[in-house]
Structure 1
Amino acid sequence: MKSLKDFVLRENDIERNGHIYCKACGKRVDGELVDLGFTKFIPRIKCECEIKRDKENEERERLMRISSLKRDCFSSPLQHQYTFEKFLNEKGQAYKVAYNYAKSFEQMKEDNVGLLFYGDVGSGKTYLACSIANELIERKQIKVKIMNLSQVINQIQKSAFKLDSNEIISNLSRIL
């Protein structure tokens, strides 16, 4: 391409004063002539409309990925809403440990540090575990799976005759 006549016009383009502009936002979309020695071309520059559309598409894809990760992670749709901000006892030790774990997850993973919640029914174990999961899914789009001990045992029992224990543990830990 050696001249503007070789520039591919799109439906929303308009030619004015020897340059190409977006009809919608008015931004110039034809760049300066680039000479590579063996060929010349005029690059296309993204207009404000394209930049906005790309950002909207990226955000839509991010939200779809988050939604998919949450469906795979939780056994109940209610758990999608469990967050640190909504936890009622944010002054408690368990909250602080869970919150710091989520915020420092990359380091925790590198150091091979895990968490095991135990306590009385209704003490917030599941809520805090789901809060960590939601934080990791929303902030980093990390694949997480929430399972209580009975679900882990059921998984092992179902697989007892098909997999050895190392393979079961490997499958369970493959999540991260």
Structure 2
Amino acid sequence: MTRVLLASRNAKKLAELRRILSTAGVEGIEIVGLDEVPPFPEAPETGATFEENAVAKARDAARATGLPAIADDSGLAVEALNGMPGVLSARWAGRHGDDQANLELVLNQLADVPDERRGAAFVCATALVRPDGEEVVVRGEWRGRLVRNPRGTNGFGYDPIFVPEGEERTSAELAPAEKDTLSHRSRALNALLPRLRELV
């Protein structure tokens, strides 16, 4: 069994990656999270792009543990805000991880923007770094539009105001299994599957 480290403490991300591997029939890989390896210094996310942040996190994790490491960085890119909040999505309102404040700030910034110009995309860059130094980075995008009032209780972050293309429901109104097949993170992870198969 090949152990692969997902450089995250987010239980939902771990479960999602395990489900994607299982659905794709990838066997022989055990996904572990940061809580299952000895602690190591984690560098702050200071990259200008999702890709830079993902690679930096995966490099740190592979170097510290000797395991192949996967890391991702994701966020919301709003067309009317010139692609922001982008890499600043988790701390857009100033404090890291204050989902409600971040969501309200984006809604306030878009208050005067007409419905037809409220396009946005969730973006996820995912990096796989092997102990031998080989690196691969993939990107997944989930396009849609932003509504004016939050709806739904599934998901987190900006999910309650994001309506994916072809949908009337927000991302927070989709069942987890539906979101798995559509989301930016699942698109990036699925693009990484051929490289994960090579590890077995």
Name the TM tier (shorter chain). under 0.3
TM-score (norm 1): 0.25
Higher-Rg member (1/2): 1
| Structure showing the higher helix proportion among its residues | 1
